[in-house]
Structure 1
């Protein structure tokens, strides 16, 4: 935490800039973000804002990191309250992503929607927050595998040497004890989950196609668990 009055004041100004940026993101969209408009709402001249944020792209990066961390915090909080059951925890994770996206469609769109023209998110700042939910998913996959809850495919898929090396790098980076087939399934489920959320949040199904979107999403979660190879319990 900032320890001097100047540091505290700077931290508060940065918080205000991000807050106002979020407001403009919701009302104007990412492509129309303007530091001059942020300065106006902050009540300072535009040159003062440039002492904190040097460009529109830097503001976008702050908003991207802020959004990823907000989503990650929502997922972490939901998982902390979930039972110690990887099956239910994955359902809880999916519901948390959908709930946050519905509550924050503009921020979700910045993270997973159409890229902002001319903006390229710096990996060194955005990769760690941007993979929080993915790492949580992979951890749950590994936990389910360790507990014998998953049925492997028969026959096992053939994986090229190049792709096997990619899988090995992921295992090493995140300390995962899972086979290639589960990594392949996980990489299928991960974009499928966000695809389902995107269709819901941006109304890509059409307004009258499905009577109950929540029920539909629960059926989609069933399908994702089936894809991963979860053993069906009796009565389910």
Structure 2
């Protein structure tokens, strides 16, 4: 629910200003160097006042992580056109993830780069973190229900837990744990490809980054049967 009183609006505006400055810090000092005191100095406010908004650096990091996952997830969801063919939907979602990462490299690094020493993300970040996987899962689920996803070869593997079912397409006879294991592999491979590109690990190895990415994502789509 949006803020309704002047006091609530003022608090929301200052909270947004704090997080904007903190995101700018990510670009200069990285997540490990994030400092409430430094943000307070830039705002011209006392450190003690900052703690009324974010009691600790970890609380601020958590907010940035939630914001990042939600922004990335929204980009993936908005790219998905349910009227398109499943394979093209899949590719559109993957492209949106890459485009967001390239436009927000420091936020992406916070989400998928080196862990911040001494920080452990709380469980309430998990739903936001799974939004991209759920976007891919919707493509799989819709394809399965439309009869456009063939059954996987072989027998169920028991390699994934039941917890992935709601994220990766929901319940359908074709979506057994072998398909979900492959879907989980493709989800992680998407971020592996984006991370390799963003962090410079493809330098000197890939001739055309756009073409390489699209080709890899089509291969991953084929892996899950699209």
- How high is the TM-score relative to the length of structure 2? 0.92
1:152: which partner in 2?
A: 151
- CA shift, 1:34, in A, is 0.3
- Matches of 1:171 and 1:209, distance apart in 2: 36
Q: Which ranges in structure 2 are unaligned for 5 or more consecutive residues?
A: none
Q: Describe the SS at the equivalent of 2:165.
A: helix
Question: What SS does the corresponding residue of 1:115 show, helix, strand or coil?
Answer: coil
Q: Give a deviation string over 1:135-189, Cα, whole Å, max 9, x none.
A: 11111111112223233333x23424xx46x23x433577432222211111111
Measure, in 2, the Cα distance between the counterparts of 1:87 and 1:73.
20
- The residue correspondences of 1:163-174 to structure 2 (distance < 5 A) are 163=159, 166-167=161-162, 169-171=163-165
Post-superposition CA distance 1:26-65 (Å, at most 9, x none): 1110000000110011121111111111111111001000
CA RMSD of aligned residues (A): 1.7
TM-score, with length taken from structure 1: 0.88
Cross-structure match for 1:25: 26
Asked if 1:184 is matched to 2:181, the reply is yes
Counterpart Cα distance in 1 of 2:30 and 2:166: 38
Consecutive unaligned residues of structure 1, counting only runs of 5 or more, are 231-236
- Is 1:94 equivalent to 2:68 in the alignment? no
Superposed, 1:64-79 pairs within 5 Å as 64-79=65-80
Alignment of structure 1 residues 1-236 onto 2, 5 Å: 1-80=2-81, 83-124=83-124, 126-154=125-153, 156-160=154-158, 163=159, 166-167=161-162, 169-171=163-165, 175-177=170-172, 178-206=175-203, 208-230=204-226
- 1:79 deviates by 1.6
**Residues 35 and 57, structure 2, Cα contact 8 Å, conserved in 1:** yes
Aligned-partner Cα distance in 1 for 2:157–2:103:
40
How many residues align? The count is 222
Deviating above 6 A after TM superposition, structure 1's stretches of 4 or more consecutive aligned residues are none
